[in-house]
Amino acid sequence: MFSPHISLQKFVTDGYNNYKSIDLGKKIKNDSSTKCQVGMILYHKDKQIYAPKGKTGSGMGHAEMSALHNMIEYCESLDISQEQFAKNIVSGDFKIEVGCEEKSCCVQCSVVLGHFNAVAFDFDTVKCKKTMLGGGAWGMSQKVKAVLKYIVQFKNDKQTIKDHDLNAFCQASKPFFDTVFNVKQGKPNKP
């Protein structure tokens, strides 16, 4: 039977696997650090058009999501719509490079960056299969969500992710991702 939506499982694994960076798996680099600066460069046909900086704690969620939000907003100021932004990502006309050296990108940011076809700038920019919720809930702006949904739709023959599933993804915690990636629990949970 035809389903107009991709599964949440597929959404997470496709995104994570597609983020071109070194995979730390279950390890985390520097989760204790609260500061995190992310450099993100947007190229249009190999020409650099924007290099915003995002900061954790600026009110837009994790630094990676804050940087993506600013990038989309900047493109809107150039009359590039959210739909066109997504088309450019999928066609390869847009390319995003991420530099985040102080700590690893968390699982949620890595999934989203993967859908955006992002590539790590260097070997110090790494991804991991862990949530990093020390600073509170994870989230992304409406603009990032909207572009993400277009991208998923263009890549998956018009099937996108249900809002309900996307919200579940935003609010998911460690057990959810452990299940998705089939990561074995090493130790029993202590109270």
Residue 129 CA to residue 115 CA, distance in Å, equals 16
Rounded least distance, CB 44 to Zn ion, Å: 25
53-55 and 47-50 strand pairing = unpaired
Helices (H) and strands (E) in the chain, counts: 7, 7
Residues 128, 107: contact at Cβ < 8 Å? yes
Hey, what are 92's tokens?
A: 């390869």
Name the residue type at position 165: D
Rounded least distance, CB 62 to Zn ion, Å: 3
The residue assigned the tokens 């990038």 is: 71
Determine the size of the site formed for Zn ion (CB under 5 A): 3
Nearer to Zn ion, 101 or 153 (CB): 101
**2 burial type by CB count under 10 A (0-12 exposed, 13-18 middle, 19+ buried):** exposed
Using CB under 5 A as the binding rule, the residues of this chain from 123 to 162 that contact Zn ion are none
Rounded least distance, CB 100 to Zn ion, Å: 9
Rounded least distance, CB 162 to Zn ion, Å: 22
Nearer to Zn ion, 26 or 45 (CB): 26
Stretch that binds Zn ion, among 43-51, 59-67, 80-88, 180-188 (CB under 5 A): 59-67
119-120 and 94-99 strand pairing = parallel
Nearer to Zn ion, 61 or 161 (CB): 61
Nearer to Zn ion, 65 or 153 (CB): 65
- Residue closest to 100 by CA, chosen among 116, 77, 122: 122
Rounded least distance, CB 33 to Zn ion, Å: 13
Residues 105, 35: contact at Cβ < 8 Å? no
**Continuous segment of H or E residues that includes residue 41:** strand 37-44
Q: Does residue 62 touch Zn ion according to CB under 5 A? A: yes
Q: Does residue 109 touch Zn ion according to CB under 5 A? A: yes
Rounded least distance, CB 139 to Zn ion, Å: 10
Instruction: Choose, by CB under 5 A, the member of 60, 71, 106, 112 that binds Zn ion.
Output: 106
Stretch that binds Zn ion, among 33-41, 45-53, 106-114, 118-126 (CB under 5 A): 106-114
| Residue ranges in contact with Zn ion by CB under 5 A | 62, 106, 109
